[in-house]
Structure 1
Amino acid sequence: MKKFLALALALVMTASLAACGGSSSAPAASSGSASGSAAASGSAAAAADYQVAMITDYGDITDQSFNQTTYEACKAFCEDNGVTFNYFKPAGDNTADRVAMIEKAVDEGYNVIVMPGYAFGGAIVEAAPEFPDVKFIALDVAKGDLLEAGVNAAGEQYDYNPDNWDLNKYVDMSNVYCAVYQEELCGYMAGYAAVKLGYKNLGFLGGMAVPAVVRYGYGFVQGVDAAAADMGLTDVSLKYVYGGQFYGDADITAAMDTWYAGGTEAVFACGGGIYTSAVDAAKKVDGKVIGVDTDQAGVIAAYAAGEGADAATVDSFKSLTITSAMKGLYPTTYDTLTDVIVNGNWDKYVGQIATLGLVSGDDPEANYVQIPMESTQWADGAFTQDDYKAMVKDMFDGKLTVSNDISKSPADFATVITVDAQGQLKG
């Protein structure tokens, strides 16, 4: 995925905390010139001042989702730039254990802390003021995630009122940069593609009903509805449920068995490892799935094939995935670290909560939210890469808008389709 973060800054950075941020290009210098040598020397010296640590959230660095993608981006950046790197896994799934790992990392000399996922909201509120000289970079952490911690930088409790947020009053952002994504856009892309490719009985299986997952889901509903309207269809249906957790299990698989047996053709499995339940059910009836966060066609195929399967067997399962609703975790991480550490541009990021979405109407692969060019099951006369590019162009130009209002219900976005909202399976 190509990313030009300087362009992202120029196009979508605003003065509010909902502004978009990104990295800019390294300063230009002539090869072999004195200025070029000085710049290279300066970059190396700057990199030598930093050590990068990543803290995992619910899973670990083999989860084939958020943690693994962020870990791989951090590791690649550090190897490419000679920066010391390590990751730290909390003992438990709670703020106290996440803070403990942050403290351990800082005690060991790490001064850039990368954290993937909304669950770090409370840890940021507690740990960032404790270490003012440490740079905290958080992915998918929004204003609400920070404020829902219910405590300000002085350790004082306060009433959480989403209608009266004042981030600066309650959260010390003086050494924090957060990035969130417009998941509703790539959710829309995936839903629109699925219907155009011939699927009329669809499902959405979310993990936990956190804002990012809800935005994915509501975008998906809007995309399904828009495609059905464009095609003049009135018989498109969508089942909608949250699992209540970010992993699959027998209970969730049983629910998916019921869906597929009842005629559901494809399920958008949205939330960490919960895709395993959708895949387990889909395999039994030759159903389909839609991946999330990254291009999951290979991940889903490998899981479906089973441990130890040969390459040919894995490849035979790649048709299981129609497409994936992707967001740029890897390039956000790699390019932000480059701009902060190598280019010394921390001042462009600090204090910001950036909303990352479209930065190009002409090159879908340059955007922070997209569906994969390589693995999406394009079909001539139904939905092609050119059709997709035209849709992205309309989004970028404002001709096509997608709501991110998560206060609504899924059915509120349906105009020609039927939505069966089934609440939450567990928790």
Structure 2
Amino acid sequence: MKKIISMILIATMAVGLAACGSKSDSKNTKKVSKNDVALITDVGTIDDESFNQATWQGVKQYCKENGFKCDYKKPTADSTDARVSSITEACSQGYKTIVLPGYLFGDALIQLQDSFPDVKFVAIDVSKADLKGQKIKDNVVCFTFAEEQAGYLAGYAAVKEGYTKLGFLGGIKVPSVARFGYGYVQGIKGAAKETNTKAEVKYTYGGQFSADDKITAKMQGWYSAGTQIIFACGGGIYGSPLEACGQYKGKLIGVDVDQYSKGTKCEKQHGYNPFLTSAMKDLQNTTVSVLNDIKDGKWNKYSGKIMHYSLKDGDYICLPTDEKSWAFEKFTKEEYKELKEKIAKGTIKVDDNADVDIEKQSDENVTVSLIK
């Protein structure tokens, strides 16, 4: 039934794209070439300081370096139908490479992959679980990342920097967010054991990928009660602890991309940038790399695969090391490099279980409290 509905939608789109629901980056009416690229955002935007923006930056970099055009479309609603509509519009306009950032594209991808066999779909952060048991076809590649390793780096570094009262604010409890959070707890525990430090972790989910007054009030409560630093993980939800931290001189850890620049408002109002670091996945360079391979006729490397990247595969997981973003005073770049090498070699093993019971993660050094 879903497939029938999808086909009806596609047919409708083909005869009347003016009725489509999506917002486009440009009104470029020039003919689309085979190497031009379209990106469809999920519920976020191309300036969300998260994975939509990082992936879009990769698309723009590739097109600028190679002289191709790019465009983006934002579905008008948070629904599979709206995402199907935007993807179909891009296909009907002639795009042969379409980038889809975010787990929400699983259903739309399965519906459309057979309908456009000559279109290559590059799905970022779409896992096997997001596909709900369905197989992807030869015109699809999915990329996933070891978020737990990024979380570990951030948690470990924060404790080594001297923070002992830490928080985790996740957006929606989807596997990628849960892995970030569990990795963060593992990193805190690893550093606390190594330094014989006692630490406390408050852990919660906001149930959404955006900030609001209720979440901000909750974060204000955490900071006022002594929480020193919060890892905000999930799209724009970082806005709530960012709004709450200033009067308490609280700190933040960003996610997906280097979010240090988002602290400039706090710096002007309260005299400091709250971002200690960001737990990052190399979304931009991954996007550039696959698009260049598509251009160079190397699609066979990706065709029909779900590709998982971790530190053992390369520098796909990291903290920002630019001087302007490296806000550590005690944790050194040498320690950071050594930590990454240990994870890459398997000397430090980071569990990737997205279904772990966080309430059972306390040990002799670290107390973890799930706040519902």
Please report how far the alpha carbon of residue 325 of structure 1 lies from its aligned counterpart in structure 2 after TM superposition.
Answer: 0.4
Q: Which residue of 2 aligns with 1:332?
A: 286
Corresponding position: 1:143 with 2:128: yes
Which runs of at least 4 in structure 1 moved beyond 4 Å after TM superposition?
A: none
Matches of residues 11-50 of structure 1 in structure 2 within 5 Å?
49-50=34-35
Aligned position for 1:345: 298
Q: How many residues align?
A: 338
Q: Which aligned pairs between 1:264-413 and structure 2 lie closer than 5 A?
A: 264-299=227-262, 301-304=263-266, 313=268, 316-318=271-273, 320-341=274-295, 343-359=296-312, 367-374=315-322, 375-379=325-329, 382-413=330-361
Tell me the amino acid that sits aligned with residue 217 of structure 2: A
Give the structure-1-normalised TM-score. 0.76
AA at the equivalent of 1:394 = K
> Residue 97 of structure 2 contacts residue 122 of structure 2 at CA under 8 Å; is this kept in 1?
yes
Q: Which runs of 5+ in 1 are unaligned?
A: 1-46, 148-166, 306-312, 361-365
What displacement does 1:303 show?
Answer: 4.5
Alpha-carbon distance in 2 for matches of 1:229, 1:370: 22
Distance 2:270 2:301 in 1: 43
d(CA) in 2 for partners of 1:171, 1:222: 33
Residues 274-293 of structure 1 show CA distances to partners (whole Å, capped at 9, x for unaligned) of 11101111112111011110
What's the C-alpha RMSD, in Å, of the aligned pairs? 1.7
**Aligned position for 2:12:** none
Identity of aligned residues (%): 43
Distance 2:339 2:71 in 1: 41
CA drift of 1:217 comes to 0.1
| 3-state SS, counterpart of residue 42 of structure 2 | coil
Distance in 1, Cα, partners of 2:270 & 2:110: 45
2: CA distance, partners of 1:54 / 1:406? 28
Would the aligned equivalents of 2:151 and 2:182 in 1 still touch at CA under 8 Å?
yes
3-state SS of 1:105 partner: helix
Structure-2 separation of matches of 1:172 and 1:387: 41
Which amino acid letter does the alignment assign opposite residue 239 of structure 1?
K
Q: Which segment drifts farther, 50-59 or 238-247? A: 50-59
Native 8 Å contact 1:222 1:414 kept in 2: no
Name the CA distance, whole Å, in 2 between partners of 1:172 and 1:321. 39
Q: C-alpha distance in 2, partners of 1:136/1:348?
A: 14
- Cα distance change on mapping 1:402 and 1:249 into 2, 3 Å: same
272-281 or 72-81, larger mean C-alpha shift: 72-81
Measure, in 1, the Cα distance between the counterparts of 2:335 and 2:103: 34
Alignment partner for residue 123 of structure 1, among 85, 88, 108?
Answer: 108
1:12 — aligned with what?
none
One-letter code of the match for 2:340? V
Q: Which secondary structure does the structure 1 equivalent of 2:311 belong to?
A: coil
Answer whether contact 1:129 1:172 (CA < 8 A) is retained.
Answer: no
Spell out, residue by residue over 1:334-357, the C-alpha distance to the aligned partner (whole angstroms, 9 max, x if none).
11101111x210010011111111
Name the residue aligned to 1:174.
138
Structure 2: tracts of 5 or more residues without a match? 1-31
- More displaced stretch, 244-253 vs 63-72: 63-72
State the 1:91 CA deviation: 1.0
Post-superposition offset of 1:295: 1.0
**Equivalence for 2:166:** 202
- AA at the equivalent of 2:368: V
Q: Which amino acid letter does the alignment assign opposite residue 231 of structure 1?
A: T
Q: Which residue of 2 aligns with 1:39?
A: none
CA drift at 1:48: 5.1
Scaled by the length of structure 2, the TM-score of the pair is 0.87
